[in-house]
Chains A and B, each alone.
Chain A
Amino acid sequence: MELRYFVLRRVLLLIPTLAGLLILVFALFMSLPHSLLELSLFPGIPHNAALEEAQGAQILGLPYTLNGVYHPGLPLPLQFGKYVVRLFQGNWGYMTVPIYSGSVIGAITTFFPNTAQLVIIASILAIVISIPLGTFIGARPNTISDHVGRIFTFIGYAIPAFVLGTFLLAIFSKGGIIPIFPSANAFSASAIPNPPPSWMLSSGDLFITSPTHIVLVDSLLHGDLGLAWNTLMHTILPVLTLTYGLLAGIMRFIRAGMVDSARQEYVKTARSEGVPERIVIREHIRRNALIPTITVMGLIIASLLGGVVVVEEVFSYPGMGLLTVQAAVQTQVYGVLGTTLVFGLILVLANLIVDVIYALIDPRIRY
């Protein structure tokens, strides 16, 4: 089958996957004690009153309108069905958490770019560092550099992100030994010019920049170096925490793959043809070592998304992770459903990309 049919099939498979994900999260929420649920949906309104007045949420004078998203009187499957219909209409519901209050779509557009900034920088850094380092140690197994590399990667593997993050915070942020990095937020409020420039949309203390919504990129595009620097300083510690775990994983796999493919016959063939050692390592050993590495990339991406949740919590970094955690703690059904949907979508798409790259790098794979 051709590659595009494979991609099409996988994109179609997205639908049942995400539907399953939503049903699971929804079911988990609906199995919570009813009172807890009602309380989170209608803060401050007694249980019975909520039921009676469900349809007229506006009358209750809540800060936002429930707009009929929640239908407590209906059976659960119908409730879910109505939610899905609203989802397609662009109404993902509402949420109230400490860092945000408003529509879920609004929350995602505000916080997702920050997370994207972290994840993209961390992935690029991890790949750029791990491939040469992994190649280096993989080409000299059981030498001193390999042992050093092994210790380095095992630490990265073993140390949980929240431990590393906390250590980094304790050492490098305010009150630490070397207080050079800020400790919270994606950028300091003081770094934003007053009044905010036209490319910054502000609502309260939240800002959305255009055109890319990623503050670092946008501030560079508009030549605001001060804000760019400030944002960069805020991202360094969380990025480092994320990168280390990711890097260790990729490096281990490249190293193992290199040691394995160095033993293969075709490497001997290449050497017997007079191919210089440097090119043997780069073209013959490493290219084959990258295949298993790319296979596990899908898993590594999943762990990266998990890591983002923890890292943002530790560094109070306003991103999707922090949003998800707060939504879960406050039992905000729509908040959790919405963020889960986004995470699920990213994970599935990332795995699709991994599979396509896999097919490109290994001619034996045909879809």
Chain B
Amino acid sequence: MIVEEENLKKIENYPYLSVEGLVTQFFTSGGIVKALDGVSFNIKKGEVMGLVGESGCGKSVTATSVMDLIPDPPGRIVKGKIIIDGFNIIGDINKLAKIKVKSEKNVIIKRNRKLIKRHNFILSKIRGRTISMIFQEPSLSLNPVMSVGKQIMEPILLHNRIEISNSIIRRETITKEQIRTFYTEALKIKDAMERRKYVNQWTNMFGVAESQDSILELFNSQASSDQIERDLENFLFGEIEGTNLRVIEKVRDYYKTQEELFKLHTTLLMAEENADSELIEKISMEIRNLQRKSNKELFGFKITYKFLRKRIDIPYVKEARRRALELLKLVNIAGAERVIDSYPHELSGGMQQRVMIAMALSSKPKILIADEPTTALDVTTQAQILELIKELKIVTGTSILFITHDLGVVAEMCDKIGIMYAGNLVEEAPVNDIFYNPKHPYTIGLLKSIPRSDVKRGDILESIPGSVPNLITPPSGCRFHPRCSFKMDICETNKPKLVELDDNKNQKVACFLFSREVESSE
């Protein structure tokens, strides 16, 4: 019993996203910008974490690093772990590129093209599917020459091919038997909502989701059950489009091999991380065999697919378009049928951001990174978008990393908050603790600089003296010490570690006022 309970607890606390000691640097001609200096945090299932800090403190770099989208050159993740759903996506970070630092301004980076290719392949299967991102400036984040629908359909077509193929095959080969079981099962469910859910699921599985309303109508008609069953049969057999199933099967095979390759590569990467030479040998063999097999069996198909892609994709595009419309409706876009064919410049900022959210959610990701999603929007739209993200979080159970410099938004949205300063996480705690019991001098200063209603009119708004340091030559020790009013001698020489408070295990602070623990630096 106890063991089971522990396991359950483990599952509940299982972090979807776990970042450990993340170091990201930018190698510029002016010197090395130490943008992130060992950032660590966890986000559990369904949790919303906010990252807050001044401009230039590394919030966006954290988000971009987690997606591994740091533009290279000039930037690179140098060290650390980004564990997404149990898999460290940068497990081979040291092998991808050898960084030789001769001096601040003279850094030689030797990239291993072959490994980078593999890395990109693995990430292309993770991004958009397990983790996706919403950006700050919706007007810049959508491709101006591509219609909105095409942009939403792109990730759908990339990540859901096997599922769509299966549903098409099921639709085309549907039998009387299947229809009967569906009908009797559906009749058993008396509750209208539950039945709706069941019909939705079934129609999705059989690729006729478009006509689920008509099917439900059939159920509700007054005819005898035999008549309904016959109508249903006629209706579903009428849905058969005579698609060439051999082609669909080939497409499915192609994407299945891709999927298998992805799984093998991730296992290989994990094996490499653990230096398990036996497993490495075995997996490499399997990868080679799979590639050889797919080259042999799918060679003709690959060539046909290259030239006839548009034709072969017609049934897929149809389904993807239906899903895109559904997504647009999900994010409360009025007139989705019209919007889907319009171009980004024809939409308002709020609409564009909704489209971005629809895109990010298209494959039901486990983690969503929102990088200041409301900063560029006006206040009413801001509220709508926040409301939308909150709603969607409840519906989809997605974990969210929410980045903003607006503490009000954070209080509204998040379960816990991380305060960042100059590339470090200086404090991490549940929302209430941050607002009512802030510990780190920087957090206190940040909170004091919000205009408040309980302060007398005419009082001067406090601010933290000084500004964010230049990260090419960051201050020694604790990076906040030049601006800190509690500065001690140790702050100049040593860097404090992010540790839990003695009286509150949920609150972590990196400050020598609370703990003498020093961050070990290699």
A interface residues (Cβ-Cβ under 8 A, vs B): 142, 263-266, 268-277, 283-284, 287-288, 291, 361-364
Partner of B127, one of A272, A284, A291: A272
In contact, A287 and B145 (Cβ under 8 angstroms): yes
A285's closest neighbor in chain B, by CB? B143
> CA of A283 to CA of B143 in the docked complex: distance in angstroms?
10
In B104-133, the 8 Å CB interface with A consists of 120-121, 123-129, 132-133
Could you tell me the distance between the alpha carbons of A269 and B133 in the complex, rounded to whole angstroms? 8
Given A363-B345, A364-B345: A274 touches B128 (CB 8 Å cut-off): yes
CA distance A264 to B137 in the complex (A): 11
Which A residues are in CB contact (< 8 Å) with B124?
A: 274-277
- Inter-chain CA distance A284–B143, complex, in Å, is 7
Residues from chain B with Cβ under 8 Å of A291 in the complex: 145
* Cβ-defined partner of B132 (8 Å) among A265, A273, A363, A364: A273
User: Which residues of chain B have C-beta atoms less than 8 A from A271's C-beta?
Assistant: 67, 69, 127
- Closest CB in chain A relative to B468 CB, distance in Å: 23
> Do A274 and B137 contact each other (CB < 8 Å), given the known contacts A266-B142, A268-B69, A363-B145?
no
- Which residue in B127, B143, B343 is a CB contact (below 8 Å) of A266? B143
One of B73, B128, B146 near A272 (C-beta < 8 A): B128
15 sampled A-B residue pairs with Cβ under 8 A: A142-B73, A265-B137, A265-B140, A266-B144, A269-B133, A269-B141, A272-B360, A273-B154, A273-B158, A275-B154, A276-B121, A287-B143, A287-B145, A287-B146, A362-B145
A362–B82 Cα gap in the complex (Å)?
39
Residue picked from A265, A272, A275, most chain B C-beta under 10 Å: A272
- B359 CB–A CB distance under 8 Å: yes
CB of A274 within 8 A of CB of B144, answer: no
A361 CA to B343 CA in the complex, in Å?
A: 12
Residues of A within 8 A of B64 (CB): 268
Taking the closest CB of chain A, its distance from the CB of B428, in whole angstroms, is 25
The answer to whether A288 touches B69 (Cβ under 8 A) is: no
Q: Closest A-chain residue to B71, C-beta based?
A: A263
Highest count of chain B CB atoms <10 Å: which of A269, A288, A363: A269
- A142: chain B residues at CB < 8 Å are 73
- Given the contacts A269-B359, A363-B345, A274 and B155 also touching, CB distance less than 8 Å: yes
Cβ-defined partner of B359 (8 Å) among A273, A276, A361, A362: A273
Name the distance in Å between A356's Cβ and chain B's nearest Cβ: 16
Q: How far, in whole Å, are A264 and B139 apart by their CA atoms in the complex? A: 11
Chain A residues contacting B147 (CB-CB under 8 Å) are: 363
Chain B residue contacts of A272, Cβ below 8 A: 67, 69, 127-128, 132-133, 135, 360
Of A265, A284, A288, which is within 8 A of B135 by CB?
Answer: A265
Q: Which residues of B contact A287 (CB under 8 A)?
A: 143, 145-146
Chain B residue, CB-CB nearest to A268: B69
| Most central of B128, B132, B345 by chain A CB within 10 Å | B128
How far is it, in angstroms, between the C-alpha of A265 and the C-alpha of B135 when the chains are bound? 8
Which residues from B are CB-within-8-Å of A364? 144-145, 343, 345
Complex Cα distance, B128 from A363, in Å, reads 26
- Chain A residues with Cβ below 8 Å from B143 are 266, 269-270, 284, 287-288
**A275 touching B158, Cβ below 8 Å:** yes
B142 touches A269 (CB 8 A): yes
CA distance A291 to B120 in the complex (A): 28
